[in-house]
Amino acid sequence: MNALFLGQQANTRLYEYEYAFHNISQWVRDFHRECCGMAAIFLIHFRRKKQRYGFSSVEKPFGLHVLNGPANS
């Protein structure tokens, strides 16, 4: 095998690794963005719920006031 062929093979493999790394890093960025977006939505939801019903999200976060009676009882 000559050096030119080996060099082309190494460049091709390097390009494939760079492409794979780019895809993985793009997936990580997208996943992080989605998680932060969902966390922001939940925080806004609980903040509005607290303002409306007057209890903290720690005490009754997931609609337990429906089972336990009114929020202020």
Query: For 28-71, how does the pLDDT look when each residue is reduced to its tens digit (9 = 90+)?
Result: 888 888 888 888 888 888 888 777 776 554 555 555 555 555 55
Q: Do 63 and 48 touch, CB atoms closer than 8 A?
A: no
pLDDT in tens, 8-35: 777 777 778 888 888 888 888 888 888 8
Is residue 73 a part of any domain in this protein?
no
d(CA 61, CA 28): 30
In a domain, 7, yes or no: yes
Contact 65, 71 (CB under 8 A): yes
Alpha-carbon separation of residue 35 from 3, 10, 31, 45, 50 (angstroms):
48, 37, 6, 15, 22
pTM (2 d.p.): 0.43
Structurally, the chain folds into a number of domains equal to 1
Separation CA 55–CA 35 (nearest Å): 26
